[in-house]
């Protein structure tokens, strides 16, 4: 770790012996080495803080010497370029798909078929490699002389889309294959799957408005790869697993060996593949991962079996769609039977009515389920669902289980049709069903208590203005008593008014006012998100705050102007225009202004206290509310430092769930250990 042990090296050493070119090259190598240690090997040697410092040094140098900037520089991973359209590219050879089966019997038939076909070719012994099937998006990467020159989606198999800029932001995609760059290897193609870890999927969804959440990590991945703003793609933190390599001169003819080569070149190849000499080993592998897979940080929906001998791949060939030398076994979705007791109707912050099934509690894929969204009435109709029906619920890629069908032959005598409510369950206003929409909706935007409550809770949520003392029950009371008609009214509440609420002492009332006071210091970007404009999530709010750095410019922007902002399409642009043309907007704006909320980007950034000054903090185990990066930022903003290993000098260890050896060590050394909740309250 030479670079770090020589502080300030780069700028000073350049003047004497090292040229900027050499320094930059060294920095790049060092950064990519740490990248690999962190993302592929999961054995980081640097804290996030120190890593960021290296990257900042590199970026600064590249700014100073723009002629030395190369597309394979790790500085390119932070993104920033905007791609307006993704041009089509031809694949060098078709990207095939796999034939699927849900039956282990069919897997056995597949193995026997392969054996038979190969016997005709005079090949006796055959082995299979079993890999996990990653639930993501297939892509192809092209390296020329070891440098990543092109990355493309599969598309229709022959022609895909060029998404190189977006793929460069994925830390587990090497931008440069050192071994090949030196040997001048020519063109090499690597294929694999881009996927999203469960933790990142949940974080991303939390930053999206309810109406636009992704159903599963695969959809989130597909959506993210097609974003125009590569900086936003970088924030999605996707991963890549490589399973195919073609074009190396000394290419081995064993698939297993090629996986090892990919790994040596710096790719993540999945930690769990294995060689299976026969059907029993294949069945073992399938059985083992059917349960173990729930513990993985990413989703896998099955097992892929491939012939190990690549020479035989050619012998067997492919059908129009899939090769004959491989098959995908898919795990059946986890299902459970239960009873639909009732359907309730929720009113969202935008007035949308969502039917929600209340179910007899049932255990599925490790958790108890008693509720599930039915989305809308088209869905109820499609399912032919009636009250008191026996139903099957299923958990597959989705995090939340859904009702997949009824069991009509077991329909009880008291089954009743599920009818859409004619009026809003909250304010009794007759419902409407806008043309071309699948949902009913309550048109009483301004007065409906459920909509007001939804808007206020959204405004106060963690990713918006982050007013933690404003919980569900409190907001419910504030709205019911007519103390507030929208988020801006929060800032005009008096202590005496709060004191009239149930279970509210002087102290809690003051806490709430204090939290509101503090929220005035949040950023303009957060405020834009907090307004709850339809389809405007955190990422869109960020883009908007850059394109229109004050609310005055934003409310005057035309639909055409808005549509030029990256990742804002016609639907979002229309929704923004609609929001600012509502009759109630001028008075809301006036209230926001007199409440002193941040209405432009130039207003002071979020102020945070420095109560972690001098404290070194270590995170271990999984945190429920933050990912590591966010948690580290929170500590650093407050003056603390984040470290990667425990010693006597560590100030504090934050232990999440499944904390292991580091927690043990901390306890042994007598280092202060706190839970995530305690950490949160310290913030
Ligand atoms: S091999 C010609 N290996 O699943 C063979 N595919 O349902 C190319 N997938 O198209 C694919 N994990 O997108 C292979 N370990 C793995 C995989 C994998 C996921 C995807 C891939 C494929 C699809 C087939």
User: What residue ranges in 526-667 does DSSP mark as E strands?
Assistant: 616-620, 641-643, 652-655
**Is the pLDDT assigned to residue 9 strictly greater than 60?**
no
For residues 277 and 341, membership in a common domain is answered with no
Averaged pLDDT, 365-379: 88
In this structure, the residue with its CA closest to atom 24 of ligand 1 is: 98
CA of 270 to the centre of ligand 1 (A): 13
For residues 627 and 486, membership in a common domain is answered with no
Dist CA 634 CA 125 (whole Å): 57
Give the tokens for residue 443: 């048109």
Q: What is the pLDDT of residues 609-622, one digit of tens each?
A: 778 888 889 998 88
Q: Considering the entire predicted model, what is its pTM?
A: 0.80
CA of 215 to the centre of ligand 1 (A): 21
In this structure, the residue with its CA closest to atom 13 of ligand 1 is: 138
CA of 179 to the centre of ligand 1 (A): 26
Give the tokens for residue 99: 């034939």
Among the atoms of ligand 1, which is closest to the Cα of residue 96?
2
Q: Which of 328, 329, 330, 397 to mutate to test the pocket of ligand 1 (most atoms within 8 A of CB)?
A: 328
How long is the chain? 683
Q: Which of 92, 130, 193 to mutate to test the pocket of ligand 1 (most atoms within 8 A of CB)?
A: 193
User: Is 437 a member of any domain?
Assistant: no
Instruction: List the CATH number of the domain containing 51.
Output: 1.10.287.610
Q: Per the residue annotation, which of 43, 133, 506, 648 is the catalytic one? A: 133
Give the pairing of strands 239-246 and 187-195: antiparallel
More confident residue, 71 or 552: 552
CA of 98 to the centre of ligand 1 (A): 6
For residues 208 and 187, membership in a common domain is answered with yes
**Is the pLDDT assigned to residue 5 strictly greater than 50?**
no
**Is the pLDDT assigned to residue 10 strictly greater than 50?**
no
Q: What is the pLDDT of residue 561?
A: 94
- pLDDT tier at 397 (50, 70, 90 boundaries)? low
User: Is 20 a member of any domain?
Assistant: yes
For residues 515 and 528, membership in a common domain is answered with no
Q: What's the Cα-to-Cα distance from 187 to each of 143, 180, 226, 260, rounded to whole Å? A: 6, 10, 25, 19
Averaged pLDDT, 188-193: 96
Instruction: List the CATH number of the domain containing 505.
Output: 1.10.150.20
Among the atoms of ligand 1, which is closest to the Cα of residue 326?
5
**Is the pLDDT assigned to residue 17 strictly greater than 70?**
no
Q: Which of 519, 552, 567 delimits the end of a domain?
A: 519
For residues 538 and 413, membership in a common domain is answered with no
The DSSP code for 606 is P
Contact between residue 303 and residue 286 where contact means Cβ atoms under 8 Å apart: yes
Give the tokens for residue 399: 């995090």
Give the tokens for residue 517: 């006071």
Averaged pLDDT, 13-41: 83
Question: Cβ contacts of residue 171 below 8 Å, gap of 6+?
Answer: 35, 38, 39, 77, 237, 239
For residues 174 and 302, membership in a common domain is answered with yes
Instruction: List the CATH number of the domain containing 622.
Output: 3.40.50.10190
Percent of the chain whose predicted confidence (pLDDT) is above 90: 66
User: Is 63 a member of any domain?
Assistant: yes
| Burial (CB count <10 Å: 0-12, 13-18, 19+), residue 363 | exposed
Q: What is the pLDDT of residue 677?
A: 85
Other CB atoms closer than 10 Å to residue 440's CB: what's the count?
Answer: 22
Dist CA 72 CA 87 (whole Å): 21
User: Is 211 a member of any domain?
Assistant: yes
Q: What is the pLDDT of residues 336-361, one digit of tens each?
A: 999 999 999 999 999 999 999 999 99
Dist CA 327 CA 97 (whole Å): 9
Contact between residue 384 and residue 406 where contact means Cβ atoms under 8 Å apart: yes
- pLDDT tier at 607 (50, 70, 90 boundaries)? low
* Average pLDDT value for the chain: 90
Question: Cβ contacts of residue 154 below 8 Å, gap of 6+?
Answer: 91, 95, 137, 138, 139, 140, 160
For residues 165 and 311, membership in a common domain is answered with yes
Nearest CA among 653, 658, 627, 626 for reference residue 642: 653
In this structure, the residue with its CA closest to atom 21 of ligand 1 is: 138
For residues 622 and 514, membership in a common domain is answered with no
Dist CA 556 CA 544 (whole Å): 13
Q: CA angle 421-424-430, nearest 5°?
A: 80
Among the atoms of ligand 1, which is closest to the Cα of residue 135?
19
Q: Which of 138, 314, 329 to mutate to test the pocket of ligand 1 (most atoms within 8 A of CB)?
A: 138
CA of 146 to the centre of ligand 1 (A): 24
Q: What is the pLDDT of residue 615?
A: 87
Domain count, the chain: 6
CA of 191 to the centre of ligand 1 (A): 9
User: Is 305 a member of any domain?
Assistant: yes
User: Is 581 a member of any domain?
Assistant: yes
Q: Please name the helix (run of DSSP H) or strand (run of DSSP E) that holds residue 542, with its range, or none.
A: helix 538-547
In this structure, the residue with its CA closest to atom 2 of ligand 1 is: 96
Dist CA 398 CA 199 (whole Å): 13
Note the maximum CA span of the chain.
91
Among the atoms of ligand 1, which is closest to the Cα of residue 98?
24
Q: What is the dihedral of CA 362, 364, 367, 372, to 10 degrees?
A: -70
Which residues lie across from 395 on neighbouring strands?
A: 334
Q: What is the pLDDT of residue 623?
A: 83
| Burial (CB count <10 Å: 0-12, 13-18, 19+), residue 660 | exposed
Q: Which of 289, 320, 351 delimits the end of a domain?
A: 320
Residue 669, SS3 per DSSP: helix
Question: Cβ contacts of residue 22 below 8 Å, gap of 6+?
Answer: none
Dist CA 373 CA 403 (whole Å): 8
For residues 68 and 187, membership in a common domain is answered with no
**Is the pLDDT assigned to residue 482 strictly greater than 90?**
yes
Based on the residue annotation, tell me whether 133 is a catalytic residue of this protein.
yes
User: Is 182 a member of any domain?
Assistant: yes
**Is the pLDDT assigned to residue 4 strictly greater than 60?**
no
Domain that holds residue 490: 449-519
**Is the pLDDT assigned to residue 555 strictly greater than 90?**
yes
Nearest CA among 623, 629, 627 for reference residue 653: 623
CA of 196 to the centre of ligand 1 (A): 16
Averaged pLDDT, 251-265: 91
Averaged pLDDT, 7-22: 56
Percent of the chain whose predicted confidence (pLDDT) is above 70: 95
For residues 133 and 240, membership in a common domain is answered with yes
Dist CA 135 CA 355 (whole Å): 29
- pLDDT tier at 295 (50, 70, 90 boundaries)? confident
Q: Tell me the backbone φ, ψ of residue 103, rounded to 5 degrees.
A: -120, 130
Q: What is the pLDDT of residue 603?
A: 61
Give the tokens for residue 73: 């520089």
Enumerate long-range contacts of 602-606, CB under 8 Å, 24 or more apart: 602/549, 602/550, 603/524, 604/521, 605/523, 606/521, 606/522, 606/523
Q: What's the Cα-to-Cα distance from 570 to each of 117, 292, 315, 605, rounded to whole Å? A: 54, 44, 50, 31
The residue whose two tokens read 């930022």 is: 633
* Full DSSP string of 47-107: -HHHHHHHHHHHHHHHHH-GGG--TT-GGGGG---B-S---EEE-SS------EES-HHHH
User: What residue ranges in 485-636 does DSSP mark as E strands?
Assistant: 616-620
User: Is 85 a member of any domain?
Assistant: no
Q: Which of 397, 417, 437 delimits the end of a domain?
A: 417
Residues with CB under 6 A from ligand 1: 96-98, 100, 131, 133-134, 138, 193, 243, 304, 323, 326, 328
Q: What is the pLDDT of residue 14?
A: 42
Residue 10, SS3 per DSSP: helix
Q: What is the pLDDT of residue 70?
A: 86
**Is the pLDDT assigned to residue 167 strictly greater than 80?**
yes
For residues 288 and 350, membership in a common domain is answered with no
Give the tokens for residue 269: 């190849």
For residues 566 and 514, membership in a common domain is answered with no
Instruction: List the CATH number of the domain containing 214.
Output: 3.30.470.30
């Amino acid at each position: 770790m030479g670079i770090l042990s020589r502080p300030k090296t780069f700028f000073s050493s350049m003047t004497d012996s090292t040229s900027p070119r050499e320094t930059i090259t060294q920095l790049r190598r060092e950064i990519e080495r740490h990248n690999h240690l962190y993302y592929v090997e999961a054995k980081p040697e640097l804290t996030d803080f120190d890593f960021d410092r290296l990257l900042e040094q590199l970026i600064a140098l590249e700014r100073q010497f723009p002629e030395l900037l190369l597309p394979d520089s790790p500085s390119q991973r932070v993104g920033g370029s905007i791609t307006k359209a993704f041009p089509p590219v031809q694949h060098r050879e078709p990207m095939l798909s796999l034939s699927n089966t849900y039956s282990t019997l069919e897997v056995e038939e597949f193995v026997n078929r392969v054996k038979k076909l190969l016997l005709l070719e005079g090949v006796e012994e055959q082995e299979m490699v079993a890999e996990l099937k990653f639930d993501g998006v297939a892509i192809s990467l092209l390296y020329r002389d070891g440098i990543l020159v092109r990355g493309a989606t599969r598309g229709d198999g022959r022609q895909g889309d060029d998404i190189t800029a977006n793929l460069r932001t994925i830390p587990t995609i090497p931008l440069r294959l050192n071994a090949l760059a030196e040997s001048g290897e020519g063109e090499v193609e690597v294929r694999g799957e881009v996927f999203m870890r469960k933790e990142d999927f949940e974080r991303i969804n939390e930053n999206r408005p309810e109406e636009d959440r992704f159903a599963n990590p695969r959809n989130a991945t597909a959506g993210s790869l097609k974003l125009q703003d590569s900086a936003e793609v970088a924030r999605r933190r996707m991963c890549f697993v490589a399973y195919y390599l073609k074009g190396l001169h000394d290419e081995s003819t064993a698939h297993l060996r090629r996986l090892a080569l990919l790994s040596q070149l710096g790719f993540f190849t999945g930690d769990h593949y294995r060689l299976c000499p026969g059907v029993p080993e294949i069945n073992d592998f399938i059985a083992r991962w059917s349960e173990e897979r729930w513990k993985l940080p990413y989703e896998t929906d099955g097992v892929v079996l491939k012939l190990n001998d690549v020479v035989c791949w050619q012998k067997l060939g492919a059908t129009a769609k899939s090769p004959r030398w491989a098959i995908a076994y898919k795990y059946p979705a986890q299902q459970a039977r239960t009873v639909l007791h009732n359907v309730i109707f929720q009113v969202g912050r935008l007035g949308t009515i969502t039917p929600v099934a209340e179910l007899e509690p049932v255990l599925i894929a490790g958790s108890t389920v008693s509720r599930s969204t039915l989305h809308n009435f088209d869905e109820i109709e499609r399912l032919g669902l009636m009250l008191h029906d026996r139903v099957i619920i299923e958990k597959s890629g989705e995090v939340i289980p859904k009702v997949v069908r009824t069991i009509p032959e077991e329909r009880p005598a008291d089954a009743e049709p599920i009818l859409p409510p004619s009026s809003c369950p909250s304010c009794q206003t007759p419902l409407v069903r806008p043309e071309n929409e699948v949902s009913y909706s309550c048109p009483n935007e301004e007065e409906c208590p459920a909509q007001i409550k939804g808007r206020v809770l959204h405004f106060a949520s963690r990713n918006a203005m982050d007013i933690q003392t404003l919980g569900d029950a409190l907001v419910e009371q504030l709205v019911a008593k007519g103390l507030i008609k929208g988020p801006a009214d929060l800032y005009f509440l008096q202590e005496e008014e709060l004191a009239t609420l149930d279970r509210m002492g002087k102290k809690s009332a003051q806490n709430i006012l204090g939290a509101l006071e503090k929220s005035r210091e949040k950023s303009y970007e957060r405020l834009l998100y907090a307004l709850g404009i339809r389809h405007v999530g955190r990422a869109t709010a960020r883009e908007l705050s850059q394109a229109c750095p004050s609310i005055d410019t934003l409310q005057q922007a035309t639909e055409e102007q808005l549509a030029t902002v990256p990742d804002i399409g016609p639907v979002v642009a229309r929704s923004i225009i609609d929001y600012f043309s509502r009759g109630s907007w001028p008075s809301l704006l006036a209230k926001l202004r007199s409440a002193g909320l941040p209405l432009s980007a130039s207003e002071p950034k979020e102020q945070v206290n420095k109560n972690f000054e001098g404290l070194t903090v270590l995170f271990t185990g999984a945190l429920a509310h933050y990912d590591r990066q966010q948690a580290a930022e929170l500590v650093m903003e407050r003056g603390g430092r984040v470290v990667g290993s425990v010693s006597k000098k560590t100030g504090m260890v934050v232990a999440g769930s499944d904390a292991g050896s580091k927690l043990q060590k901390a306890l042994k050394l007598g280092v202060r250990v706190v839970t995530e909740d305690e950490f949160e309250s310290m913030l």
